[in-house]
Structure 1
Amino acid sequence: MSDIDTRRSSSLALAASALGLSFASPLVLANDAAERLTERLEPLETYQARFEQQITGSGGERLQDARGEMWLSRPGMLRWEVEAPYSQIVVSDGSDVYLYDPDLEQVTVQAMDNRVSHTPALLLSGSARDLTNNYDVFHEQQSGEDTFTLIPTSTDTLFEELSMVFEGETLTELLMTDSTGQRTAITFNGVTQNGRIDRGLFDFEIPEGTDVIRESF
């Protein structure tokens, strides 16, 4: 696979990646944990934050650092802008997901099917009840943080374990591991929850002269 293909195939997961956490304290039973997570997520209508992302390999080697800003609005809308190390934009309008690479002058379009919607950030934009119905959820509390760890009940997902970390009612981290052992940690700062977000952020117009690739899983 070429470097360009690697960047393109990994970028959709970048639209909301994160890695699994090892458990350091007793866990709340899955049913209770799912209820607690639902109570945290159901009031979340919009979410805006800056992010820093670090990807590490199965051996712990650092593969990539990135930073940018994201906006999320339920149901199903997301805008994820990577500013560095290169520019990239991911937009979901609730029906399709657009991955735009300005340097390559290329946009990849995928329908919002089940597999795409199971990327971590898009999970947040969906129904909390659907989320807890499709994942086994575990909860631990340590040092003032609540960590909810999700294990997919289906094999048709982009990750094997996902953790959401909250400080109080605010989501501050997403942590994910995939089947290769690659780990992604995303830290959010400057968070605004349930603030007003311009609906136009989730409308993507394909720039003139851009190559369009339509993909399906």
Structure 2
Amino acid sequence: MTFKLYLWSNLSIKKLMRKFMLIWLMFSSLLLTAQTGDVLQQIKSQAQKINSIEAAFVQTKNISFIDEQLISNGKFWFSRPDKMRWEYQSPFFYSIIIDGDNITVIDDKKESRFDAASNAMFGQIKQVIMNMVNGKMFDDPDYHASLKEENNYFVVNFETVNEAMKEYIFSIDLYFTKSGYLMEKIKMNEASGDNTVIEFSNQKINQSLPGHVFKP
């Protein structure tokens, strides 16, 4: 074999390999996109089947200028379509109750009431919280969703595209179990680098909840 023929042969093989590699990458990308879409659809579908939740939670707040983590715990209740109670029980008492557009905040013994329909900030906060629980966040134009795997979880990252919301939340990570697509952890990331991690336990799904739970 002449040197020119040998060189041409090697170049042809390299071109062929590059073409195969390009095709493989395109095919892999399509498969990954399809798989991501399937998983996100499964998570969304499962979330929409949830009518009520009762759970305990532990919240860990990481602040850059404080060495020690701020840890609190409490209970959480949700009832479709728009009722929720988020209650910190230790080391302090603080409760947020949402019933439609009515928001009640109980700080120790002080009670404050807000109307989400007329208060833009509380309206946005209410919408984010509800959308995380009921699966509507996947359709929220204020967030871009992406998927990754982490140990036993599918992690859906919602990156904020709404500039006004970025002042409060830069992105949100929702951790869903691979076995049943149940959300067990939330991580809220701020633009400053601080974050809040909420881990749920003892979750009771679609069981009847007493009406007084959503009353102050």
Query: Does TM, normalized by the shorter one, top 0.5?
Result: yes
- Give 5+ residue unaligned stretches, structure 2: 1-28, 118-122
Deviation at 1:199, TM superposition (A): 2.7
- Structure 1 position 155 matched with structure 2 position 163: yes
Deviations 1:78-100 (A, max 9, x none): 11111111111111111121110
Quote the residue 2:176 is aligned against: 166
Give the aligned partner of residue 111 of structure 2: 107
- Identical counterparts, % of pairs: 15
Name whichever structure is richer in helix by fraction: 2
* 1:184 and 2:188 are equivalent in the alignment: no
Distance 1:201 1:141 in 2: 35
Matched, 1:45 2:54: no
Query: Could you tell me which residue of structure 2 aligns to residue 5 of structure 1?
Result: none
> Quick check: which has more Rg, 1 or 2?
2
Tell me the TM-score normalised to structure 1 length. Answer: 0.70
Counterpart Cα distance in 1 of 2:42 and 2:184 = 17
Larger relative contact order (CA 8 Å, sep ≥ 6): 1
Q: In structure 2, do the counterparts of structure 1 residues 93 and 85 end up closer, same or farther at CA, with 3 Å as the change threshold?
A: same
In 2, distance between residues paired with 1:118 and 1:181? 23
- Note closer, same or farther for the CA distance 1:85–1:160 as it changes in structure 2 (3 Å cut): same
Question: Unaligned regions of 5+ residues in structure 1, if any?
Answer: 1-25, 205-217
Q: 1:87-166 residue pairs with structure 2 within 5 A?
A: 87-102=93-108, 105-113=109-117, 114-119=123-128, 121-126=129-134, 128-129=135-136, 131-134=138-141, 135-157=143-165, 158-166=168-176
Q: What whole-Å deviation, never above 9, does each CA across 1:59-88 have from its counterpart, x for those lacking one? A: 673352100111011112111111111111
Q: Deviations over 1:110-133 (max 9, x none)?
A: 2224412244x333355x345423
Shift of 1:203: 2.2
Deviation at 1:37, TM superposition (A): 3.5
Q: CA deviation at 1:51?
A: 0.5
Q: Read off the aligned partner of 1:174 and give its amino acid letter.
A: I
Q: Deviations over 1:11-30 (max 9, x none)?
A: xxxxxxxxxxxxxxx9x659
CA contact (8 A) 2:76 2:87 kept: yes
Matched, 1:84 2:93: no
Question: What is the alpha-carbon root mean square deviation over aligned residues?
Answer: 2.5
CA contact (8 A) 1:56 1:183 kept: yes
> How far, CA to CA, are the matches of 2:77 and 2:160 in structure 1?
25
Residue of structure 1 equivalent to 2:120 = none
